[in-house]
Every structure is written in structure tokens, then in C-alpha cells.
Amino acid sequence: MEKLLKEISVDGYKAYSVPEADVPIKDPGKILEDKLLRKKQPGLPEISEAELNRHFTRLSKENYALSTNFYPLGSCTMKYNPPVNEKISKLSGLANLHPYQSEDTLQGALEILFELEKNLCEITGMDAFSLQPAAGAQGEFTGLLIARAYFNSKKEKRTKIIVPDSAHGTNPASAALAGFEIVSLKSESNGILNPAKVKEVLTNDVAAIMLTVPNTLGVFEKDILAVEEAVHKNGSLMYYDGANLNALLGVSRPGNMGFDILHVNLHKTFSTPHGGGGPGAGPVGVKKFLADFLPYPSVKKSSEKYFLNYNMPKSIGRVRSFYGNFPVLVKAYAYILASGAEGLKRVSEQAVINANYLLSILGKKLNSPAGNRCMHEFVLSGKDLTLNGVRTLDLAKRLLDYGYYAPTIYFPLIVEEAIMIEPTETETKAALDEFAQTFIKILEEAKTDPEKLKNSPQNTPVTRLNEVEAARKPILHW
């Protein structure tokens, strides 16, 4: 494993050189207060320029990256995104803007935001958007604050949110943070919601139902219109978790399914890799009757001039500084324009085809609780592996030995020993075949040499960790 800079430091070595000062040099002790002066040297590593370069080059070679390897859980972690979009977001005219500039000097940036909102409305079937939320979970929270403000404006006491067990795991937390009581709803064995069971929990104090479509098992809710009819008949709202929008672009629109509020994981679907927790963007879209409750300011256009509208008396207020994570928004806009309507549709079609192709191979080796058809992702159960004492965790660790990033395991919670796979639209058949062959080889190892899996990974810079100790008692060096 690569040593730390401090460990390879040699006294007297330097990786820098600076020209002689062209201004008079002053003694810090004569111009600064004594309390501001350092009492001892800072202990920075001393290293030559060449060794410094080699250190970071070696570290970079240990990185797992899309430029070298396939992520089995693509859009949830890293799907391939064209580097040109990254380059566009770093153009000086965009990257060097300051949010406190006058609107007159920000017309181009405001136009991008204005047009991006329009594009998102067209893609999702909603009437208005706010680009402020910085991530999907904050988008959920924002959407639920809008629901709360809406019912408060009608003087209706709606205190509950229905969350099916097939929804994303952040939904209950967001609803609780927004002050709602959670009503859990069990899905059927294939992950689909039963409209009759939805009706059973629809009481007069239910504000909304939060649905993930396609759900966490990679299944489209085939009875969504029946659910929508029952929810709206009850006076409640339909909330759409759009984190899985990668499966529906140009094919189906949540707004047409009857959803009133949705958030989109913009980074996930539209060209920003977000492994490690960021950067992200979770725009919230609503139907017209909820538009007044969106966060302020909103981007508007008057004649030929764009401006930020703060005159929104029913708004829930700001949810983030300024107007969101601008570089992520720029990349999404570039991705949408470059793809076009047909291109976006092709993204989803190819993602669904790739996922079903992989499921057709791996579904013969492990149980697939949701059946033999899926949307852009699917979930297998490693329950049978436990007969040899092997867990899904061991399978994921063994994948690291073969040079693959580990997919999500143990989620969704409704599948025992779950392993979730999402190949995305950009992987070739050859890449999928190679991954499938490796996966099957590991399943054979689980039968013939289970200890090999239990002791994996063995070829990585860091081998099997005690994950509980590593999380609770981390030993950190810098």
C-alpha cells in the first residue's frame, strides 16, 4: 500500500522553487500579534518534486474509475458520462461566475437555468421546477415541504405519508424530517403495489404517497393509474421519487401518470458522476397548482431579460444558497441538448435492454424475486449461497479481486441477501458478457471453495477489513 507523504518525507527535500521577492521582505514577528505567530514548524512533509509526482501517480493507479472499469451499479454510482460535458461546465464564462454578480452580467447563466427547467418539464410532464436542491434526498425533503405548505394553505391537517417498502430508503427519513408520520406499506412478493392495500391505508390525514417508479426491484408499477385514482380521490398527493428516471426518458412521463410532485437525481441521470456523496442536484418539479410553493427565487424571463423572482409569498423559502449546484446543472443541460429527444429515449431503451440481457443470464443462476423482466436494474437473491456459508457480502468482495466495483448488496431490504445490478446504457455486449462470466465463475467458487470468497478480497491494496471496527474505530493518518 502506498505510504503517506509524511512517511516518505526526507528532511531538506523540496518540491517547489519560488523566485526572489520583488518587494521588501518583512519579519512576521514585527507586523503580527504574538498570538498569531506559530511557535514551532508546521511539520509539513519534505519531498522532491519527482517523488511527489510519483506518489500521486501511484495513488491514481489504485483508483477505481469509469475510464478503466465497469461499474455493476451504474447510474446509482457511476455511469459513463461524456467528458465533453465536464469540459463545458468548466468554460471560463461559466466556471468563473460569482453569484453576487448583477443579473445583467449573468444573463447567459440564467438562460441556461431557465431553459433547463423547461427541458425538465418536458421530460417529466410537470409544469414548474426549482433547481435549488443539492441532492436527491434534499429534493425529497423539499417536495414534502411543498406538500405540507399546500395543505396548510387549505387548512387541512394532513400528517401522514405512505411509503411502500419498495421505495428508496431515503423516503421515510425525508418524510420524518419534514414533520410527517410514516405509514409503511408492504408490497406484493414480486415488488408490485396492490391498489386495494393502498386504499386500506388511505385515511383523511394522509398527505401523500411516495412511490419510486420503477421501484427498487427494477419493476414498473403496472397498477399505477389505479393507485393514482385512489390517492387523488382521497385528496392526497402523488409523490414521485425520480432517482430511477434513467429507465423512463422519452418513454413515459411521471406527470402523465398523475404525479403531483417529483424530484430528479439530476447528477445520476444527466451526466455527473457522483460516487462518494457528491456533487449532486435534486431539482423538484410540481404541477401548476403547487408552483407557488416552490423555493424562491425562481428564474423568470421578461421580454428579452432573465431575472430572479423573489416575489413568491407562498414559497417555502430557500433550501440552498444561491440557485443550486450550478456546474451540475450545466452538465445536465449540455447532456440533454447533445442527446436530443430521440437520444434521451435511446438512453433508456438501451439501459433497459442491457439490464434485461444481463438478467437473462444471471437470473438462471440466482433467484430473481421480481421475475425475469426488469427495467434498468434488477435484484437477485443470494439466499442459496448461504447453504455453503457464503454471503452476498463475500460475493461482492470477490468481485473486487476480479477488478469489478462491488454492486449494492443487502438492499432493497425486502429481498434476502439482495444484490442489485444496473449495467446502464453505455456498456457493450462484450463488457456485459465478461462481467456475467466472472459472476458465474464466482458462483462456482462459492460451491467448490467457499473459503476463497470468505477471505476476499486478496488482490486489492487493502484486503478484508473488519467492517464494524473500521466504521466505529477508524484509524486515520494524514
pLDDT of 183 above 90 = yes
Output the pTM of the full model.
0.90
CB atoms within 10 A of CB 276: 8
Categorize the per-residue pLDDT at 196 as very low, low, confident or very high, splitting at 50, 70 and 90. very high
pLDDT, averaged across the chain: 93
3-class SS shares of the chain: helix, strand, coil, % to 5: 40, 10, 45
Estimate to the nearest angstrom the gap between the alpha carbon of 468 and the chain centroid: 25
pLDDT at 264: 95
Q: What is the mean pLDDT of residues 12-35?
A: 93
SS (H, E, C) 244-313: CHHHCCCCCCHHHHCCCEEEECHHHHCCCCCCCCCCCCCCEEECHHHHHHCCCCEEEEECCEEEEECCCC
Q: What is the rounded end-to-end Cα distance, in angstroms, of the chain?
A: 14
Per-residue model confidence as pLDDT tens digits over 308-326? 999 999 999 999 999 899 9
Q: What is the mean pLDDT of residues 347-373?
A: 96
Q: Is 258 exposed, middle or buried (0-12, 13-18, 19+ CB in 10 A)?
A: middle
**What is the edge-to-edge ordering of all strands in the sheet holding 418-421?**
378-381, 418-421, 408-409
Q: What is the mean pLDDT of residues 5-24?
A: 93
H helix count then E strand count, the chain: 16, 12
pLDDT of 477 above 90 = no
Per-residue model confidence as pLDDT tens digits over 218-231? 999 999 999 999 99
Q: What is the mean pLDDT of residues 201-209?
A: 97
pLDDT of 266 above 80 = yes
Categorize the per-residue pLDDT at 462 as very low, low, confident or very high, splitting at 50, 70 and 90. confident
CB 244 within 8 A of CB 258: no
The percent of residues above 70 in pLDDT, for the chain, comes to: 99
pLDDT at 453: 96
* Closest of 327, 333, 290 to residue 312, by C-alpha: 290
